[in-house]
């Protein structure tokens, strides 16, 4: 199984998040004529030691065998690296990427599960080298997750990463012919992505956690705001230089606690792009899952909603 393992089924994914505080599960039904509908939203409180039992409960409660199931790696369980795309035939691509990664990982490349994601170049520019993302995780970690799901009779068909989940949400928000930046925060820190035409062009981690955004000490919170602003300025400037054929429409902030409004105002006064808060109800139908009206619930489930929106990836 690759990190973005392909599946021939088209029924959507049951996205399962294995968290320190429990287990999240989301399923979304897509429609060509309406907003994607969140059909299932569940949280099983617990801890990492109780994960196996929680998965067994989920499997029985929702009859998991009826779904394509996926989970998502935590930020410290994988690396995402930008590389120049090798000039090799498609069937040799992953081998060439593996060779390039051998000196970039802190473990032997033979012990890595690797997948690749293309970064499309300017279609109107002369043919030139372009970049790709390589995603690497330890074989042992992937195998342990596969074994856990198999033991609990939850059919695991894909293991995703947060960048791709966030990309899936961004696609729903994109303005035609424009790029969209999205910034979200979890307990693991901040994640900035820039997408265009459904493709991921830029990804950056920001070392500020959700807890730090809720800091009661004004000076320390403002220091976090400064750090976020500086990283955004640098990242968006880099994006403009690398992908000057993509004009940015706006920066969308994912749901956060009360800090969201203050951070939005702070960024809006320091960035050249419009900044707005995500209105999840504009892109998803959660009439069957009314708990999603609450900002804190949206924040907890956001990336799992993105994972559940996953569609077939193009084969590279």
Q: Which residues are within 8 A (CB) of 220 and not within 5 positions of it... i.e. 6 or more apart?
A: 212
Hunting for tokens 């012919």 — which residue is that? 177
Query: Are residue 180 and residue 70 in the same domain, yes or no?
Result: no
Answer whether residue 124 is part of any domain. yes
Query: Are residue 261 and residue 195 in the same domain, yes or no?
Result: yes
* Domain, as residue range, for 98: 75-138
Task: Report yes or no: 255 and 219 within 8 Å, Cβ to Cβ.
Answer: no
Identify the domain boundary among 160, 191, 211: 160
Query: Are residue 37 and residue 92 in the same domain, yes or no?
Result: no
Answer whether residue 314 is part of any domain. no
Query: Are residue 57 and residue 93 in the same domain, yes or no?
Result: no
Query: Are residue 231 and residue 252 in the same domain, yes or no?
Result: yes
Answer whether residue 293 is part of any domain. no
Pull the structure tokens for residue 34.
């309406």
Query: Are residue 177 and residue 91 in the same domain, yes or no?
Result: no
Pull the structure tokens for residue 186.
């979890």
Query: Are residue 178 and residue 273 in the same domain, yes or no?
Result: yes
Answer whether residue 300 is part of any domain. no
Q: pLDDT tens per residue, the chain (316 residues)?
A: 455 554 444 368 999 999 999 999 999 999 888 999 999 999 999 998 999 999 999 999 999 999 999 999 999 999 999 999 898 888 889 899 999 999 999 999 999 999 999 999 888 877 667 899 999 999 999 999 999 999 999 999 999 999 999 999 999 999 999 999 999 999 999 999 999 999 999 999 999 998 888 888 889 988 999 999 999 999 999 999 999 999 999 999 999 877 667 899 999 999 999 999 999 999 999 999 999 999 999 999 999 999 999 986 554 4
Query: Are residue 224 and residue 272 in the same domain, yes or no?
Result: yes
Query: Are residue 149 and residue 250 in the same domain, yes or no?
Result: no
Query: Are residue 134 and residue 19 in the same domain, yes or no?
Result: no
Answer whether residue 21 is part of any domain. yes
What is the β-pairing status of strands 79-84 and 131-138?
antiparallel
**276: Cα within 13 Å, side-chain hemisphere:** 8
Q: What is the SS3 assignment for 88?
A: coil
Strands (E), 144-269: 156-160, 179-186, 189-196, 199-206, 248-253
Residue 135's nearest CA partner among 90, 169, 165 is 165
For residue 143, give the H/E element and its range. helix 139-151
Q: How many domains does the chain have?
A: 3
Please report, for the domain that includes residue 226, its CATH number.
3.30.420.40
Query: Are residue 52 and residue 110 in the same domain, yes or no?
Result: no
Identify the domain boundary among 125, 160, 195: 160
Which pTM does this prediction carry?
0.92
Query: Are residue 44 and residue 156 in the same domain, yes or no?
Result: yes
Answer whether residue 55 is part of any domain. yes
Neighbouring-strand partners of residue 185:
190
> What pLDDT is attached to residue 239?
97
Q: Can you give the length of the chain in residues? A: 316
Please report, for the domain that includes residue 106, its CATH number.
3.30.420.380
Where residue 53 falls (left for φ over 0; alpha for ψ -120 to 50; beta otherwise) is: alpha
Identify the domain boundary among 160, 192, 216: 160
Answer whether residue 288 is part of any domain. no
What's the maximum distance between 2 C-alpha atoms anywhere in the chain?
A: 55
């Amino acid at each position: 199984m690759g990190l973005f393992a392909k599946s021939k089924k088209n029924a959507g994914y049951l996205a399962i998040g294995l968290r320190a505080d429990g287990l999240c599960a989301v399923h979304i039904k897509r429609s060509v004529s309406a907003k994607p509908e969140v059909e299932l939203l569940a949280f099983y409180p617990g801890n990492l030691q109780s994960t196996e039992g929680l998965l067994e409960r989920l499997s029985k409660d929702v009859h998991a065998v009826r779904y394509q199931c996926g989970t998502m790696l935590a930020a410290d369980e994988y690396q995402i690296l930008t590389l120049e795309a090798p000039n090799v035939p498609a069937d040799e691509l992953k081998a060439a990427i593996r060779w390039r990664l051998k000196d970039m990982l802190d473990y032997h490349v033979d012990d890595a599960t690797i997948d690749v994601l293309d970064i499309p170049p300017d279609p109107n520019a002369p043919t030139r080298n372009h970049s790709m993302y390589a995603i690497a995780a330890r074989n042992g970690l992937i195998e342990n997750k596969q074994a856990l799901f198999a033991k609990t009779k939850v059919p695991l068909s894909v293991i995703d990463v947060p960048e791709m989940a966030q990309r899936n949400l961004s696609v729903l928000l994109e303005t035609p012919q424009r790029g969209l930046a999205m910034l979200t925060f979890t307990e693991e820190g901040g994640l900035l992505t820039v997408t265009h035409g459904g493709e991921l062009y830029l990804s950056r981690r920001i070392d500020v956690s959700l807890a730090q955004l809720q800091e009661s000490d004004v000076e320390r919170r403002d220091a976090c705001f400064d750090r976020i602003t500086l990283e955004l300025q640098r990242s968006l400037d880099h994006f403009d230089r690398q992908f000057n054929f993509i004009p940015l429409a706006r920066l969308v902030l994912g749901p956060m606690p009360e800090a969201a409004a203050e951070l939005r105002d702070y960024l809006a006064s320091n960035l050249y792009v419009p900044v707005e808060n995500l209105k999840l109800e504009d892109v998803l139908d959660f009439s069957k899952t009314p708990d999603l009206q609450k900002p804190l619930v949206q924040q907890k489930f956001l990336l799992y909603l993105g994972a559940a929106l996953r569609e077939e990836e193009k084969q590279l």
